[in-house]
Amino acid sequence: MEREPQLTTAAPAFNDAPREEAAAWPGGRAPTVLQVVPTLVTGGAERGCIDMALALADAGGTPLVASQGGPMVRELDRAGIRHITLPLATKNPLTIRKNARKLAAIIAEQRVDIVHARSRAPAWSAWMACRDTGARYMTTFHAPYNIGSGMKRWYNSVMARGERVIAISDFVRRHILENYDTDPAVIRTIHRGIDRSVFAPDRVSSARLIQLTQQWHLPADRPVILLPGRLTRWKGQTVLVKALEKLGRKDVVCLLVGSDQGRSGFRRELEGQIARAGLGNVVAMTDHCSDMAAAYLLSTVVVSASREPEAFGRVIVEAQAMGKPVIVTAIGAYQETVVPGETAWVVPPDDADALANALREALSLTPEQREAIGARAQAFVADRYTRERMCADTLGVYAELLAERR
């Protein structure tokens, strides 16, 4: 038997975080906005969805979130925000149409003004529901989706059909314009934002640093090179190992922080490369870290050696917020999220020699130089990449759509 959508609510919890300023909503009525995502497990789209639901509530609006569920639903429950459970992660065409009918019923029942889609499969359901009900349809383009074929391009195109399309970086904006028939006037670049109450050096206690140092068995007198990212070839761990071999220093520690997510073959390949390079006492692989703020603070330099473009590159922004110098590759959104020569070294992708040279310079900084770079990095992030700015700009897009309707 087909299950009806499930609504979960809880009493609002006390929240002492800074509230968003209430938007000057067109017509004087704050909107009801339904966001749709496949699941609420983890990731940038999911984090942005939760952040915007909280921000809209703070601005007087009514947020709704529909997904297949996941651990992050608890954050909505604590804030008293409705979550609607639907099988939105599926790509099955029949289920997508069923989801569209259910979303249309929810739109009518809850008087939804705007539906905000953040992934392709639920976006198709949302687009059809908006077409049938007259609700406004918008999207956030979280990645430069692989095109491959005409059918794939068509499937992706639902993300470019919004009355407003948010691109999470200028790199993603260019991708949209180059690959889809989208009016540039409807695209808004709104970078992802980080939580400065989490990624702030003065918020990390000594106890947290000691706990992570003991967990990772870090020696106190060795510089730490940190590469956060799941173990996959395109994240560039093999390039970093080659660079460390060229660097020739055995007095450093390199931490590859991230799960292999079932890629045991690549993990074994990486372990073999480390052993052949004689770096067994230098490079260590760890699984998921639940305290990345402390991890950044323990590091001497943070590296992203990505071999393929990043749509945004959150870890590098977080590292700069923690006052750390960073090394990135010259592709994708990294060309927006650092200041070359001031907060970061920028090297070509797949270039172990250039990466080794950048590591050599970063490790040779004096304490004064390191402090100056850290201060510039923190100021840069605070000006551009905060959760508050992301939410305020997105609320502005909601207001645009409401103003047009009236």
Alpha carbon distance 5, 102 (integer Å): 8
The verdict on residue 232 lying in a domain is yes
Q: Are residues 165 and 249 in the same domain?
A: no
C-alpha distances in Å from residue 23, one per residue of 51, 80, 115, 196, 328: 16, 20, 18, 22, 37
Backbone angles phi, psi at 301, to 5 degrees: -150, 145
Q: How far apart are the first and last CA of the chain?
A: 41
Give 350-382 pLDDT, tens digit per residue.
999 999 999 999 999 999 999 999 999 999 999
Are 262 and 299 contained in the same domain? yes
User: Residue 1: inside a domain, yes or no?
Assistant: no
Give the total number of structural domains in the chain. 2
Residue 12 has pLDDT above 60, yes or no: no
Cβ density class 141-158: b for 16+ within 10 Å, e for less? bbbbbebeeeeeeebbbb
With a pLDDT cut of 70, the percent of the chain lying above it is: 94
Same domain? For 304 and 397 the reply is: no
Residue span of the structural domain in which 248 resides: 201-384
Mean pLDDT of 40-44: 86
> Measured in whole angstroms, how far is the alpha carbon of residue 32 from the centre of its chain?
24
**For residue range 249-293, what is the model confidence (pLDDT) as tens digits?**
999 999 999 988 788 899 999 999 999 999 999 999 998 898 999
Positive or negative torsion for Cα 379, 392, 68, 124:
negative
Q: Are residues 237 and 163 in the same domain?
A: no
Q: At what angle do helices 44-58 and 387-405 cross, to 10 degrees?
A: 70
Q: Is residue 53 part of a domain?
A: yes
**240/222 same-domain check:** yes
Would you call 23 helix, strand, or coil by DSSP? Answer: coil
CATH of residue 30: 3.40.50.2000
pLDDT average, residue stretch 155-161: 96
Examine the domain organization and report whether 127 and 258 are in the same domain. no
d(CA 66, CA 83): 6
- pTM recorded for the entire structure: 0.88
Do 110 and 50 have their domain in common?
Answer: yes
Task: Say yes or no: 275 and 139 in one domain.
Answer: no
117 CB-contact burial (10 Å; exposed 0-12 / middle 13-18 / buried 19+): buried
Looking at the structure, tell me whether residues 131 and 115 fall in a common domain: yes
